[in-house]
Each structure stands twice: as C-alpha cells, then as structure tokens.
A and B are shown apart, each in its own frame.
Chain A
Amino acid sequence: MSGRDRISRALTPVTGRLSGKPYKSIRNTLGKGTGEKRGQARYSAFDLFRRGFTKDPWPPVWREHELSSSYDVVVVGGGVHGLAIAYYLAHRHGITNVCVLDKSYVGSGGSGRNTAIIRSNYLTPDGVRFYDRSVKLYENLSAELNFNVMFSQRGHLTLAHNDSSLRTMRWRAEVNKLENIDSEVIGPEEIKKLVPYLDVSSEPRYPILGALYHPPGGIIRHDAVVWGYARGADTAGVHIHQNTEVVGINVSSGRVTGVRTNRGDISAPIVVNATAGWASLISNMVGVRMPITTSPLQAAVTEPVKPFLNTVVVSGSLHVYMSQTDRGELVFGASVDPFPSYSMRGSLDFIEGLASHVLELMPALSKMRVLRQWAGLCDMTPDYSPIMGFTPVEGFLVDVGWGTYGFKAGPVSGEAMAQLIADNKTPQIIEAFALERFGTGELLGEKGAASVGH
C-alpha cells in the first residue's frame, strides 16, 4: 500500500468515532488475582556462591501454567512491552490476574532482534521526556528486577557528515539541554578521543564533521530485560503462556470479551495489543485499522575481537550503527528496508552496503568477519512515533507502532500502559501518542530529524 493510501485508509474506519473509549473499569472486580504469588528466589553473588557449593538448583525463572478460562487483562505479545505491562500491573497496581501470550518463546520478536541501544536524545520535547523516563527506569532495572540486565551507559555518538545533519544534531542538542538531558555537539578531535578507530580525517568520501554526543546512552542485554520482566511478572502471579498464538479476538457490542488462541479461548474485559511486526494484524481482528506499514530492519554481528570500541556509533547518512558487546562482537544495524515486508530473512545487498559503510567509518576493520545476519520487523507510523492507549473498541488497548525505537521504550511503555489500565485514563506522558492524533492531525515531530537513527 502506498503511503498516501495508508493515511487515508487508516483514517476512514475510525472517522466519527475517533476518540478512543475507556472501558468499564476493572477496579471493581479486582482483588482475586491468580492466587499464585510466591517468594522470590533472590539472585546475588552470595547465592551464586552458596549454590555453587551446595549444587542446589536454581528455581525456574518463570513457571508454566494451564490456560485459565478468564483473566482480567490479556496481554498479546511476550516481548519487553507486553511483559513490562504485566510486571507493572502486578507490582505497582496489584492487578495480578493477568496473562501474557506469545505465539513463540518470550522475546522471540523485536525484543530479541533489536540491537539493544538505549538513549533519550530525541528531537521533540515529548519524545525526550518519554525516553528519558525509560532511561531512568533502565538505570534501576537490574536492582528492581533482581536480574542483571547489563545496562552499559557507555555513551552514544551520532555522526554528522554534512552541514544539514550537523544542524539537526545542534537542534537535538538544544532541545535535549532544555529538557536537562546530557547531550552536546562535539567536533572531530573529541570524537577521535572517544573512538580512536574512527577515521575523522578529510579522506573519507563523507568526512565526519561532528557528532551529537549523549553520554547516558548505551547498550543493554536485551534478552535479560525480557527475562527479568518475565521473572518479575511471574513472581507476582502473572501467567506467561509461550507458544500460545492469538487467532481471534471476541468483540460484542463494541466491547472486547476475550481472545481465541490455538490452546483455547480466554475471556477478558481488557486485551492489550503489545505486538511488534504483527500489530496491524492483531488490531484488524477487532476491526481497528492502524496507520502502520511493516518493514524489515536488518542487523548483523561479527566474530568477537578484543574490546576496542567503547561507544555506540551511529551514522544516519551512512545508514549504519554499531557497538561492541562485552563479548567482543560488533553488532551492526541499518535503517529500515525501503519496502514493506514481513520477511525476516536477511539480504546480501544489506550486508554488502553495511560493510562498505562500516569500512568507510573504520577502515581498520576489513578483516573482521560477519558471523550472522538477521532481520526484525518494524511497524512504521506516519510520524515515527508509537500508538498507545485506547481504541474505538472498548477494552482493546494498543501499545504498538514501535518502529525502530521499541526496545528503548520498553520500561516506560509498560509503566504507562499499566497506569492507564489501572486508572482507566491516559497518563500524561503518553497523551501525545494516542490513536486520535491521526484524526486530529496532531502528528509528532520525530520525523523532523532527517535521520531517525539509533
């Protein structure tokens, strides 16, 4: 579908009933829970030591359950968003009669395919505040979840190769500073100090003129975030059902009544669509059309070498971003493929372009080897911002449209969506992301930055 159709078609079915409906509050029916809370097996150096000696096995990180016939909240999608919603529902609001469904294993979608970059140096004040909240939650996540998510705040550099992107970097820096985010434009000499392997000379075809430097940005162990939230949610009694695919959603008189899965039906007054890649398909099940197109984003990883890159490096102009994991591998990603597709196979064209851009930045790497490549799916919205909150179908909530920025927003989205469910009211921090904006024209400006990078 072309973009122009996308917008008009997305708007048609919701015209006239644009304002999303809150649902009948579940507060009244609360309090039963799944009744399966349990004491948490703490992780600690001491416990590692003790079990190393006693050979006591660790308890399961989460448990398996039979599918209950009803839950207060059904979350579709067992990635970081879905699990974080369940976690905060249970821990902050005491709403525990909740299940998270995933058609495969937890973290098998975008949560396990992204390049795990965290940052908050966005362009719009709304974006900055939102992602900054996420960074703050990430900073305390290991302690909160008692699961080391290895958030490495090693700094994040977005390179500028021409004066227009340098101007955009300054724009971002100015907005960031006004929002009290550590972010500044630095010159080639400072860049060289941070990343000695970058060629900052005038030799490259697209010389590096400067960069936006964001010290609190960094990388994280993405699987650990997923597992940590899953474990935390499980501890509070949330049911996590893997290999459970939603095949339909029941709606009666404009209200959600439950979901149909390959393992049986579940009745529920609230269903949250927290999928990425399949968000529009799930929403179609209740007749809510999303202004979303889905395109693959490809990534690749090299064999490990000894640490030499201690910063996340992004080049919007060259469509590449890279970081070195603690294991020594370089992780690369690119921009979204220029065509919509649900394919998660990598292409040769992609790694060729990627390699040539990487070597343009760091000529020393020509003998490093690419070990594997993969793709994830990105649900792109017209304004490069998510869609969160109520929909015209009562009880059907969305936390979708996460493009290339979903992982960064996992904690704050979970927190905000849980708040929304508990209060039956959209929290201020996500007001700007409501579906209605496509009806009222109040699109967000993240697209304003020519390079929506990582």
Chain B
Amino acid sequence: MRLSLRPGEVIDRSRPLRFTWNGHDYPAFLGDTISSALAASGERVMSRSFKYSRPRGVLTADSLDPGCIVQVGDEPNVRASHRRVEDGMIASPQNVWPSLRFDVKVANRAVSRFLSAGFYYKTFMKPQRLWPAYEAVLKRFASGGVISNRPAAGYFDKRYAHPDVVVAGGGPAGMSAAVAAAEAGAQVMLVESEHELGGHLRWGGAHELSVLAELKAAVSATNSIEVLIDSVVAGRYDGNFLAILQRSLPGVTERLIKARAKTLIVAPGLIERPYVFAGNDLPGVMLSGAARRLINLWAVKPGTRAVVFTANSSGDAAAQDLEGAGVEVCCVEDARRGGDVVRASGSATLQSVECGDGRTYQCDLLVTATGWTAPTSLLNMAGDKPTYDERAARFFPCSLPEDVLATGGITGDGSLEQILEHAAHTGRLAAGRARVAGGRLRKGVPHAAPTDSPVAEEQSNAITALPVDAHVALFRGRTHGFVDFSEDVSSKELEAAVAEGYSSIELAKRYTTATMGSAQGKLEVVNAVAVVAAATESTITETGTTVWRPPYAPITLGALAGRTLEPVRYSPMQSWHEARGATPLVAGAWIRPDHYGNPTAEVRNVRSNVGLIDVTPLGKFDLRGPDAAKLLSQLYVNKWAKLAVGSVRYGVMCAEDGVVLDDGVTGRLSDDNYLMTATSSGADTLLEWAESWLQTEHPEWRVHITPVTSDFASINVAGPKSRTLLERLVENVDLSAEAFPYMRVRRGRVAGVEDCLMWRIGFTGELSFELHVPSSYGLHVWESLMEQGADLGIAPFGIEAQRILRLEKGHLIVGQDTDGLTRAYSAELDWAIKLDKEDFSGKPELSWQAERSDWPKLVGLRPEDVTVVPPEASQIVHDGAIAGRITSSRMSPTLGRPICLGLVAPHLAEPGTELSIVLPAGVRARAVVTEHLAHFDPEGQRLRG
C-alpha cells in the first residue's frame, strides 16, 4: 500500500510505469525497485528458497536481499530490491515450479528433517550405477535463473582511470571524505552502490535529510569529484588496482572501470545483521533498515500490525517510522532491557510472533534491529585482518597499508557530526598521501625512502578515532533459525556440522555451504561464526572468519570481458588472396591462405614452374649491436661467429632441457646487424625468450632485438623458373648461381622498390628466393611478380602446398615433427649442434644426450600400400607396445605415393626397418624406414641450382 508523500521519497509519482511480474501486470513509479513496487501492490512472497522451498520476501530491501533474486528478461539472478523498474520490464520468480503460490518442492519441507545440510554425502551411494539418476534429481534443486541459448542483449565496456582518491561508499562519511579530499587538491572518484548518494541519511528524519542536502550540494559544487552511482568497488588488487563496476552509464549495460588509485578510502557503512530464531525467514520478518527504506524511500507501508525487536537506535527509529506510516506497533521488544523474540509463525507469511517473555502477538510484520556487520571485504583484500571487538559486537579494521584508509561506520560509532569530521579528516589525509604517491611516481621511485613518507607529517595532525559504542551481542536467540537464507542453512545444521567434526568455520562453511550464496557472507558470516563459536565453546575471535575473496559484489562476465578485442593479423596481400578465393587458415594471431582451391596442383606447379607463397607471418627480428653474434650463439645450437656478411644460416634453438624450441634462418646484413627469422607460431615466445636471456643473464651484452615481423611483407618465390622471373624484376643484384649462391642474402631493388632483402633458401626443396620487402609495397611486389610470371606459369600456393613440398623434402616443422620432449639429436639435427661452443641454451642436456643412444629418432617412412596415407598421430606399435608415431603424412603429388615422417624408438630407426602402424579402424599398415628424411631430391640438387 502506497503512503502519502514522504519527505525523502525517491519515487516520481508523476511517472507511472507498468511491468510484468510472474505473468501479471503491476504498477510502479519511476524510482521503484522491483520489490518496492511489488510490496506497494501488497505482494509479500518474492521467491521460494532453494532447498526447502520456503516462501521468502523482503528482508533487507537492498542489493543483499536474499529472497528477492529474480529473472529479468534474459538476465538471471537480478537483485529485485536494488534493480529499478523500467517500463515494460518482464520479471519473474526463479525458484518456483510450477508456480510461486504452489510449489511442488514444498513437499521438501515435510521431509526437511531428513535433508539436513550435507545429507547427500550420506546417501545415494549404492548402487553406483544409479548415481546419475540421483544426480538428475539433485540438479532439479539448482537455484538461480535461466540462461537462454542466445547471445544476451546488452553492451559492455571498460574504462581505465587514474584517480588520486577513490572513495568506496557514498554515504555521509564517503561524501564528506570525497569533498575534503577534493578540496585538498585531489581528483576523486566517489563510488556508491545505490542509485543515489546519501546512505542511511536518505531514510532518516528531517535532520538527516537536511545534512544530506548540504552534502549533496557540496559534492556537486566540487568539480574534481566524479560521482559514480549504481556502481561498486568490486575488488582491490595489488598496487591499489581497483575493479569498479558501473551500471549507471546510459546505453551501457555494465562497464568495468579499472582504476589505479593512489589512495582508497573505504567507507561502506555497516550492513544490518539478521537475527537467528525460528521463523526468521518468513515473509513479513524484515530488518529495521528494510522497513525504514520501504516507508521513507518508496512510501510503502510494510505491514499493518508490527512487533519491533530493537537493540539500537535504528530499531527505535523504525518503530517511530512505522507509527508515522500508520502501522500499529503492538510491541517494542527491547533487547537492551532483556527483550527477545523466540519464534515467528505463519503459513506462507507472518501471522504471529512469540516474544522472550512468552507473550504472543498476532501481527503481519516483525522488524528486527539486532546489530551490524562491518563489510571488511575491501580491507581484507588490502591485506588487513580485521579484529573482533566484543564490546561493540563487530569487526574493526586492524592494520591498513598506507594507501588504504577507512572511515565511517566501519571504523566506529559517534554522532553524525563526529562521523563527518572523521571522514573529512580522512579525506584530507588521503589527498596528502595521494600527493606523495604521485610525487614518487613522477620521480620514478617505486617505494621511496622513509623521508618521503607522509606519516611523520600526519602524526602531528592525527585523526581522533571515532568512539565505539557498546552493543548487545545478538546473533542467535533461543531457537534455531536460518543463518544463510540464500543457501537455506539453519543454525541447527551448522551446529550439527560442528558436532560431526566440521568444527572450524571453513569446514563448516564447506560442509553446509553457509556463506557461499549470493551475498557471499556479507549478511551471514558473523552469525555463522557466532553459531560455530558457540558450538565449539570458543570465542568469535578464536573462531575467526572465512576469507573474503573478490569480487565484493558479483560482476557479469560481459563487464569483465568488455568488448571482445581479439585482433587479427593479415599480410598486406590479404585483399589479393581474398579476391582469388583463398581458403583461410587461422594460425594463431594470423589468418592466411591455406590454399587457393587445389593444393596438389599448387605443389606440381612449384615443382615444374614457379609459385608464390605469402610468408609474411614468419617471425622476423632485427638484431643490432656488437654483441649480436653472442646472443645468436647463446640462443642457437649452431655457431655464428664466422657467418660472413651476406650469408644466411639455418639455426636450431633449444630450451634449457635440450628440447627443440624453434628454428629459422638468420642472415648477416652488416657487421653488427642481423635479421633473424622464427616460426610464425613461435615468434612471440621467441622474443620473450631472447629478452629473458638478455635481461636476466646477460644485461652486459650490447645488442638490441626488435620484432620487425610486420615491417616486411615476405614472399617466397619457389620453383625452377624463379630465377628467370626475378631477373625481370630485380635491379642491381646479380642473381646468377655464381654471384648469388645458396644460403646467401642480398639487398636490392625489386619491382622498383628499394631496400628489399632477398635470401636464397629452400624450405620447399626448390630453387627459391625469399623476398622481404617493405610491407607497404608488399601488394605491389606480389602483383608485379604475378604479372611478370604469367608466361612462366606462375601460380600462388598456400600453406597446405608448402607443407607437402617441405615433407617431400624432409624438412621438419618444430612442434609437429618434434614434441615437448624431442631434443635436438632426436630430430636428426646432429650436424647443427656444436658442443664445443662455450655455452648455449640446452648444452648440458644435449652433451648428455650425445653420449647416449636411447632416444627416439625422427625418420622418413614409406608406407607399403601406396593408396593409404596413415593419418598424422597414428601410433607405431612394436611387440604390443607403442613405439612411435607418425608426425607428418601426406600423399605426395610428385612421387605419387604416401610419404611420412615419424618419431620412432631408437631400435626401430635403422633404414629398412619394417614398422607396423595402427590405422583409425584398428587395422595395421606397414611402412619402411627410409634412408633419408627427404623423400624427394635428398641430395638437394634442385634447391642449390
């Protein structure tokens, strides 16, 4: 029922809205939350509990409300006591089948005595084969909303910020701290989880509202405060790196602000704690804050006849508010004078309350105000271990790092004026520390000398701590009730868990799942600790709390992911490939042509005419400096000192365990300048690898390594007619075999483009020239080659053809023909390994391998059946055991038979050995070990031509 105008109400009565709940149409005003609108329409049951299917209603009337979690459109688990109604919104309850009013799982309540926490550990064990059926039943209890199999609507984004001071909490303390910090010169971000600033002032009396108006005015008058409402500091990570979830940005569902704050002020206020007693979860039982919020913010009358159980001023104020709203308060049970409530009863909603003295009241509302929980999560994330104060019956910050401060209710009590002053002082302090931190950053001193510490300056100006009031310690009453509402865990179950031996808070938590639900313990943990402490006859301090883990409030995957930014790398010739209908191949970050329709024809053309392949993704690194050769020598198993300017060499790189890591060709361009190439997929790793040697092992070496992969478009021109083609386009370089022999590098002009590098190498086994041309001219050079080669039968070829060509030639691919255990000798790379070098990565292991012969070997394999290609990864078996595998296999267009490489056990590596290969259908095929890895032109006549 809607009350007449309240001074602090947040609803706009001139803006009526309609929304759907549970299939029915409901009215609301702009500013209503889903649950306030439903409450205004007289609805009291918002959900059914997850295990016992108990009806649940409004308990806290804020984002923690465990019984008000609903589905809104395609969004599950929406906090109905926080989310505002939008016109046309479709909301529905989650844990109800078939309906909110009639729920078949209600039968669970009848058997609840058998379904105590952890019951499932004790049954459904036999027969084992029936477990899937039992499991299917258990799954029916899964709580939560529904995710439909369509991409969810919404836009998610991220933002980076570098504020001086972030204030977590926009209540009176947070506002006062933010204003003071800003006045002291800081750029401030003020983050409030509700839809408006003000905290508890908003549902207070005239004095609170006037203070609120002043604070709001001060905040909006201060330019250097950025206010974020409906936003929450969800995590504090090392270096004061904050995850702030913002929901208030128009057009953006959620935005993750990643703020590197110089100082963080934690001012979240306090969370009102439920009281544990029989029936404490009945709709109609709510906390004092909830009653006050419903009345004062949304003008909703929460009931007609009420019992108020109070231990503090919030409960007293709630009693007044209720009376002011026309609710009959039939009893105020004051805990400070020994009052208690024992039991709340009712069938679906509250009907009567039994008090500590045995009197029973018929009523439809019970308001409890039994105490506060300090939301210390952010402090814990900052390394603090808050300590429990028995007198105040709550936790307080203990020791905070210099860049985190706390103020407001989390640090103490006191009058509103005292709190505002404490907060203002904290704000000035935070601004001062931010200034010092900023100064350090500018000086590039990460953690400067103690003279830079603001502490000395602060000591003369220390903050007067807030007073701490005594408070009745109220956690559980005489009866058992729910400790965790969202997980349906009662104090009785917690006690039983302790009695069974799950006696530490962590074990009790894991066994009962208490504190593991939607509020992540913010509402429940202190009651849980108190119950466990009582059951183990220890104190709350001895029992301790569970660990608070980020995030403080749940964050959507969408916000965490932001816009999907998965960059794609293309070569400058990509448009040409696409126009020719090339089939794309996803190769790590790159997308490149796999083939242009017929890889077999592409292979034949390379062997007989000339082909072009775009090898731009090849990793390329510019090495400069007098110690470049030392770096090469450290990285590769080969020698480099004597590589002449104008020559290139194939190098093999091993990790420290001797396992082949990468391979590629490096050319010496001048005395102190090399161009190193790496496998396309290994390029990123290789840079890190080289830098790790340079930065951690040999910082004294004078050499720079610069990745230049995309500076060049790389084109391999391969085939017997490649020289003829290039002679038409290359100027000022003599391409004759005598002047430009195999394994040399030249620099010259190609198709009019200066500074192209050419090297004569032959991965395909043919005469070939690899061109590295400035990338902006890549397409031009490519098209010129295609044009000039038309009469030579030129055709492009893709990765598939290249794989076949190299397999015919027996050139290995690192990572395919080698694996995570293949040391260089296994890969038939003996010729490259120079153990007489002083040092290189992998040398100790390779020296050791060199003395042995019991390692697998890479061999060429010739299947006997010329029509069947054994698939890659087929296993080679010998004497009933796995003795190797096929690493590469293709049908060779050149030879007209299948060709393979394989890694085999040493005793099977001799040429001529017959091997047995397991084909997919389980049948065996025979193959013979060949003399060379190369199936075609083992002498290398063609590539040297």
Contacts and interface: CB of A to CB of B under 8 A. Distances in A.
A196 B149 contact: yes
A168 B656 CA distance: 23
Interface in A148-165: 148, 150-153, 161-164
B238 interface: yes
Given A105-B506, A148-B122, A352-B561, A369 B142 contact: no
A342 to B, nearest CB: 14
Given A57-B499, A125-B881, A303 B518 contact: yes
Contacts of B511: 223, 227
Interface in B508-563: 510-511, 513, 518, 520, 549-551, 554-562
B561 A443 contact: no
Nearest to B681: A164
Interface in A297-318: 302-308
A346 B234 CA distance: 13
A112 B510 CA distance: 9
B142 A306 contact: yes
B76 A445 contact: no
A427 to B, nearest CB: 19
B271 to A, nearest CB: 17
A110 to B, nearest CB: 14
Interface string B135-161: 100110111111111111010100000
A173 B126 CA distance: 32
Contacts of B873: 167-168, 170-171, 173-174
A442 B556 CA distance: 47
A126 to B, nearest CB: 10
- Residue among A57, A441, A443 having the largest count of chain B Cβ atoms under 10 Å: A441
Contacts of A303: 76-77, 144, 518, 554
Interface stretch (B385-393, B709-717, B778-786, B843-851): B843-851
Interface stretch (A60-68, A268-276, A397-405): A60-68
A356 B142 contact: no
Interface residues of A, number: 105
A193 interface: no
Given A196-B149, A326-B135, A346 B549 contact: yes
B872 interface: yes
Interface string A405-431: 000000000000000000000000000
Contacts of B131: 142, 150-152
Contacts, number: 290
A282 B881 CA distance: 38
Contacts of B513: 327
Nearest to A359: B561
B592 to A, nearest CB: 12
Given A178-B875, A373-B551, A47 B122 contact: yes
B657 interface: yes
A197 B820 contact: no
Interface in A377-394: 382-383
B885 A227 contact: no
B445 interface: no
Interface stretch (B5-13, B113-121, B220-228, B571-579): B113-121
Given A167-B816, A306-B145, A371 B520 contact: yes
Given A170-B871, A366-B151, A48 B821 contact: no
B243 interface: yes
B815 A450 contact: yes
Contacts of A59: 500
Contacts of B696: 2
B135 A364 contact: no
A52 interface: yes
Interface residues of B, number: 105
B237 A345 contact: yes
Nearest to B144: A304
A356 B559 CA distance: 9
A428 to B, nearest CB: 14
Contact of A306 (B135, B144, B510): B144
A6 to B, nearest CB: 8
Contact of B560 (A49, A242, A326, A352): A352
Contacts of B551: 351, 370-373
A55 B237 CA distance: 47
A197 B557 CA distance: 15
B220 to A, nearest CB: 31
B455 interface: no
Interface in A207-226: 207, 221, 223-224
A140 B128 contact: yes
B148 A364 contact: yes
Interface string A272-306: 00000000000000000000000000000011111
A302 B557 contact: yes
B155 to A, nearest CB: 10
Contacts of B501: 60-63
B122 A441 contact: no
Contacts of B872: 167, 170
Interface string A342-360: 0001111001101110111
Contact of A161 (B146, B149, B586, B918): B586
A175 interface: yes
B570 interface: no
A364 B510 contact: no
Interface in B482-519: 496, 499-502, 504, 506-507, 510-511, 513, 518
B77 A43 contact: no
Given A2-B692, A112-B510, A370 B555 contact: yes
A365 interface: yes
B383 to A, nearest CB: 9
A385 to B, nearest CB: 11
- Residue among A62, A308, A366 having the largest count of chain B Cβ atoms under 10 Å: A366
B875 A174 contact: yes
A156 to B, nearest CB: 15
Contacts of A45: 123-124
A358 B151 CA distance: 12
A264 interface: no
A215 to B, nearest CB: 12
A355 B557 contact: yes
A326 B237 contact: no
B74 interface: yes
Contact of A364 (B147, B562, B881): B147
A326 B873 CA distance: 36
Given A43-B125, A170-B871, A369 B145 contact: no
Closest 4 CB pairs of A and B: A328-B142, A366-B558, A355-B560, A369-B554
Interface of B: 74-77, 111, 113-114, 116, 119-126, 128, 131-132, 135, 138-139, 141-152, 154, 156, 235, 237-238, 241, 243, 253, 256, 258, 381, 496, 499-502, 504, 506-507, 510-511, 513, 518, 520, 549-551, 554-562, 564, 566, 568, 585-588, 655-657, 681, 692, 696-697, 815-816, 819-821, 841, 844-845, 848-849, 852, 871-875, 877, 881-882, 885, 918
Given A61-B500, A148-B124, 20 more contacts: A2-B696, A2-B697, A7-B657, A49-B114, A58-B500, A60-B500, A61-B501, A142-B126, A143-B126, A164-B815, A303-B144, A304-B143, A328-B139, A345-B237, A347-B237, A364-B148, A365-B147, A369-B77, A441-B849, A445-B821
21 contacts: A43-B123, A48-B114, A57-B500, A61-B501, A140-B128, A162-B586, A170-B871, A170-B873, A171-B885, A174-B874, A308-B149, A328-B139, A355-B561, A360-B566, A364-B147, A364-B149, A365-B152, A366-B556, A368-B556, A443-B821, A449-B820
